[in-house]
Amino acid sequence: MTELLERPQSALPEPVPVQVTRPDRGKLLRFLGHRPGLVLSLLMVAFVLVAAFAPGLLAPGDPGVGDTAERLQPPSPAHIFGTDYLGRDVWTRVVHGASLSLQATVIAVAVALVIGGLIGLLAGFVRGWLDDLLMRVVDVLLAIPAVLLSLALITALGYGTVKVAIAVGVASVASFARVMRAETLRVRQATYVEAAYAVGTRWYVTLWRHVLPNAAGPVAVLAVLEFGLAILAVSALSFLGYGAPPPAPEWGSLVAEGRNYLAVAWWLCALPGLTIAATVLAVNRISRALDGEWRRFR
């Protein structure tokens, strides 16, 4: 049964292999055509990127200035996300908040990816006592919930967007290290790596040419996934009030500001929160697409 699905072409006489061409544009369109959710996710991420780098394009107003005469207006064509207690346009604040929130997320993922990746690669490739030592450290980091570890770092470092980002990044080092190590180990034990040794390839060439490229895939998938988690973690810390000081708009702190008006102005919490959720959902959907969906389709 499985044999049949794996190599349907193997029969007598030895068959001409199935011609597999490089992915062309038609194929990509067909792939996306069957996945409206993925298209939506890509659009969402593109939208957030525009908001982060050129917020003026989407919301020309000033996020810090409001008209108190128009305070606590529900969503309307003039203010599609409504206005807050100072009459500021919530849509403008959400768009301008993307920049700070995204900046923190990128820093967090970069910190986790670089430190965790190096630890994992080293542990998986060198093995021996170094592996044991590094993995024990990673185990301990896993034993402390990420939020608490981040909070401990914030206690030491203080408040601010960048510090929150570093705190979130360090707290995710462990999961990157584990995945990178597992992948390195898996690839290292692959027969083709032993075959490379057997034909006389040097270890550093093997590491560079065989181990890294084959181990990188799952780590890249994790990095995208971690992006979503980092958005959540950063906004949670910002919600608790450890991020940029007001009145700077950050996604988490926008929700926190709206909390006091929950009973009278639902949109103050609901819409910025929905933006966060939609972004994370989009990122997770893309991560799933990268994780084999495209490969299986080809």
Partner 1 sequence: MNAAALVRYVLRRIGLAIAVLWAAFTVSFIVLYLMPGDPVATMAGGGLDGEPLTPAELDALRARYGLDQPLIVQYGQHLWNALHGDFGTSVQSGQDVRAAIAEALPPTLQIATAGLVVAIVGGTALAVVATFTRVRWLKQALLGLPSLAVSLPVFWVGLMLVQIFSFGLRLFPSVGAEGPASLVLPAITLGLPTGALVAQVLAKSLDQTLTEPYVTTARAKGVGRAAIHLRHALRNAAIPALTVLGYVVGNLLAGSVVVETVFTRPGIGRLTVAAVGVQDIPLVQGIVVFAAVVFVLVNLVVDLTYPLLDPRIATGATA
Partner 2 sequence: MTSLLQVEDLRVSYGGVLGELQAVDGVSLTVEPGEVVAVVGESGSGKSTLAMAVLGLLPGTGRIDGGRVVLDGQELTGLSEREMRAVRGHRIGLVPQDPTVSLNPVTRIGDQVAEVLRVHGLADRRTAELEAIALLEKAGLPDAQVRARQYPHQLSGGMRQRVLIAIAIAANPKLIIADEPTSALDATVQRRILDHLDLLTRTSGTSVLLITHDLGVAADRADRIIVMSQGKVVEEGPVQQILEDPRDPYTQRLVASAPGLRPVPPPAPLPPGHPLVEVTDLVKEYRLPGRRTLRAVDGVSFTIGRGETLGLVGESGSGKSTIARLLLRLVEPTSGRIVLDGDDITRVRGKAARALRRRAQLVYQNPYASLDPRFSIEEVVTEPLRAFNVGTRAEQKARAAQLIDRVALPASVLRRRPAELSGGQRQRVAIARALALSPDLVVCDEPVSALDVSVQAQVLDLLRELQAEQGLAYLFISHDLAVVRSIAHRVGVLQHGQLVELRPTEQLYSAPEHPYTVELLAAVAGQGSTRREPVGTGKALP
**Interface segment toward partner 2; rule CB under 8 A; list 70-78, 165-173, 205-213, 244-252:** 205-213
Residue 131, CA distances (Å) to 113, 120, 177 in order: 18, 9, 11
Work out the number of other CB atoms within 10 angstroms of the CB of residue 113. 21
Are 242 and 154 in contact by the 8 Å Cβ rule? The answer is yes
Binding track over 150-189 against partner 1, x by CB under 8 A: -xxxxxxxx-------------------------------
**Interface segment toward partner 1; rule CB under 8 A; list 64-72, 99-107, 136-144, 205-213:** 136-144
Q: Quick check: 261 binds partner 1 (CB under 8 A)?
A: no
Cα–Cα dist 294/298, whole Å: 6
Residues 271 to 290 in contact with partner 2, rule: CB under 8 A: none
**Interface segment toward partner 1; rule CB under 8 A; list 21-29, 62-70, 192-200, 277-285:** 277-285
**Interface segment toward partner 2; rule CB under 8 A; list 94-102, 129-137, 194-202, 238-246:** 194-202
DSSP 236-278: HHHHTT-SSPTTS--HHHHHHHHGGGTTT-THHHHHHHHHHHH
Using CB under 8 A, pick the residue from 17, 263, 295, 296 that binds partner 1.
263
Strand, helix or coil for residue 234:
helix
Q: Quick check: 132 binds partner 1 (CB under 8 A)?
A: no
DSSP 58-124: H--S-TT---GGGTTPPS-SSSTT-B-TT--BHHHHHHHHHHHHHHHHHHHHHHHHHHHHHHHHHHH
Binding site partner of 9, from partner 1, partner 2, none, Cβ cut-off 5-8 A by kind: partner 2
Cα–Cα dist 135/194, whole Å: 24
Cα–Cα dist 40/56, whole Å: 23
Q: Which residues bind partner 2 (CB under 8 A)?
A: 1, 3-5, 7-15, 17-20, 190-202, 205, 210, 213-214, 296-297
Q: Which residues bind partner 1 (CB under 8 A)?
A: 136-137, 139-149, 151-158, 228, 232, 235-236, 239-242, 252, 255-256, 259, 262-263, 266, 269-270, 273-274, 276-277, 280-281, 284-285, 288
